[in-house]
Structure 1
Amino acid sequence: MFFYRHARHFTVPVDQAAVPQARRLARAALSDWGSALGDQLVDTIMLIVTELVTNSVLHAGDRTSCVDVTLRLRDGRLTVEVRDDHPSRPSLNGAAAGDEHGRGLYIVHHLAGERGGCVRVQTCAERPGKVVVVELETGTMMYAWRGALAEPVAVAS
């Protein structure tokens, strides 16, 4: 299969600036990849990054000094991964009407479902903690081309 792959990884410290910094870096990556994703999908990705990094800061901040974020675009799927060092898995706890927190994962699951995607949690093999992985269908295929009128080139993953 022929595909073109984009990937961006960055780490933010667990502090007040983590979420705005993660949003800024994610938006820069998506901007670098071009406008093929569309504004609505970019907004969805930004909300997912916001919710997942916020969860890591709020719930893993006592066990980790940083949060790793990876964005990947390949074969019409965009993957967002957020990793922290806290071993407990996030859960879909219900939030009462007056609660300030507790809705983030519901939002992420809903957004992923709307884009034909999924949410899963994986353990980290190389260090303690977990990775929350969100996959979204982008509705676009991106290819690498060898010359202006040449055929697609398989790009190693």
Structure 2
Amino acid sequence: MTTQSEALPHRHVLTLPAVPSAVRVARETAEQTLMEWGIGLRHPTVDPALLILSELVTNSVRHAAALSPQLTVVYAAGRDCLAMGVHDRHPGRPPLFASGAGGLGTVMELVLGLGGTAVVRDDADSGGKTVWITLPL
């Protein structure tokens, strides 16, 4: 499974205001983009991926909007994997693997259950971060 999203042949970037409606827009954009890439919405990875995306965008809206009025979603895919990243400019790092991580705990259970990976990457200036999820197709 390829893990570097830059190396994947399909890529789409969406920047949204950090408001609750961003969750719906990010999910609808994911559905449309996946179909354009030939990844059917009935693929067994798609529903969990959409739930994971919704949780990541919700987390960014809830916890980062005060310092990050915008968030960016990156969708990427290749023959054998799907990657999604949610970026905001809040410097706090979410505890992906901590017990009691709430919505992110659910995200991690889904990611690991599907054989995927998750990582938080800080911006070069440490003023923000991207939560990256990679799932096998």
Please give the range of the TM-score, normalised by the shorter of the 2 chains: 0.7 to 0.9
Aligned with 1:87 (options 74, 78, 91): 91
Q: Look up the SS of the partner of 2:112 in the other structure.
A: helix
Q: Which amino acid aligns with 1:114?
A: G
Aligned with 1:29 (options 33, 40, 44): 33
Q: Look up the SS of the partner of 1:39 in the other structure.
A: coil
Partner residue in 2 for 1:17: 21
Change (3 A) 1:127 1:93: same
Does the alignment pair 1:118 with 2:89? no
Please, which runs of 5 or more residues in structure 2 have no aligned partner? 1-6
Per-residue Cα deviation, 1:75-110 (whole angstroms, up to 9, x for no partner): 41211100000001002351xxxxxxx521111111
> For residues 44 and 54 of structure 1, what CA distance do their matches in structure 2 show?
15
TM-score (normalised: structure 1)? 0.75
TM-score (normalised: structure 2)? 0.85
Change (3 A) 1:15 1:5: same
Partner residue in 2 for 1:69: 73
Partner residue in 2 for 1:151: none
Q: Look up the SS of the partner of 1:11 in the other structure.
A: strand
> For residues 77 and 125 of structure 2, what CA distance do their matches in structure 1 show?
24
> For residues 114 and 37 of structure 2, what CA distance do their matches in structure 1 show?
19
Per-residue Cα deviation, 1:36-76 (whole angstroms, up to 9, x for no partner): 57432111111011000000000001001111001111241
Larger radius of gyration: 1
Q: Is contact 2:81-2:135 (8 Å) kept? A: yes
> For residues 73 and 8 of structure 2, what CA distance do their matches in structure 1 show?
20
Question: RMSD between aligned alpha carbons?
Answer: 2.0
Partner residue in 2 for 1:143: none
Partner residue in 1 for 2:136: 137
Q: Is contact 2:35-2:41 (8 Å) kept? A: no
Q: Look up the SS of the partner of 1:40 in the other structure.
A: coil
Per-residue Cα deviation, 1:9-62 (whole angstroms, up to 9, x for no partner): 101111121111111111111111124574321111110110000000000010
> For residues 114 and 84 of structure 2, what CA distance do their matches in structure 1 show?
13
Per-residue Cα deviation, 1:90-133 (whole angstroms, up to 9, x for no partner): 02351xxxxxxx52111111111122111110101267200001
Partner residue in 2 for 1:52: 56
